[in-house]
Amino acid sequence: MFLDRPESGSRSLLIHIHQPASELATPEELAELVRSAGLVPVGCLSSKRRVPHPRTFVGGGKIDEIAAWVVDNECELIVFGDDLSPTQERNLEQAMNRRVIGRTGLILEIFARRARTHEGKLQVELAQL
């Protein structure tokens, strides 16, 4: 749905989900990654979830909370500290009408912004597919 690269300085909401089996990033590390991508973190919502929801990673109540938060705080981008499947990204984007990326997408965004050579840019583009 949202295929364009987020603009530098985009206001971003960070979503940190505590899971017993996996702890990919702390909220502080996620904020630093967002800044490295040239984005502006304006808030972080945290939640505990034993198992990710297969369709949306988070439950319906959390989606409503996130959607209200991004409208109230004029955020253009929602960044999850965990990896999201393409289906989860799409479902979240449709539910919140905002661009959504996971941890891997954020890291690829950092590489894309820093790629200088034509070959480097092509490699990042291929990885994003």
Backbone phi, then psi, for 86, in 5-degree steps?
Answer: -55, -35
The model's pTM is: 0.85
For residue 58, being part of any structural domain is answered with yes
For residue 112, being part of any structural domain is answered with no
CATH number of the domain to which 44 belongs: 3.40.50.11060
For residue 18, being part of any structural domain is answered with yes
Number of domains in the chain: 1
Residue 78 and residue 67: Cα distance in Å, rounded? Answer: 10
Q: pLDDT (tens digit, 9 = 90+) per residue, 40-99?
A: 999 999 998 888 899 999 999 999 999 999 999 999 999 999 999 999 999 999 999 999
DSSP output for 11-51: EEEEEEEE-SS-----HHHHHHHHHHTT-EEEEEEEEE-SS
For residue 35, being part of any structural domain is answered with yes
Q: Give yes or no for a contact between 75 and 11, defined as CB atoms under 8 angstroms apart.
A: yes
Position of tokens 């297969």? 54
For residue 116, being part of any structural domain is answered with no
Which residue segment(s) compose the domain that 83 sits in? 11-102
* SS3 category, 79: strand
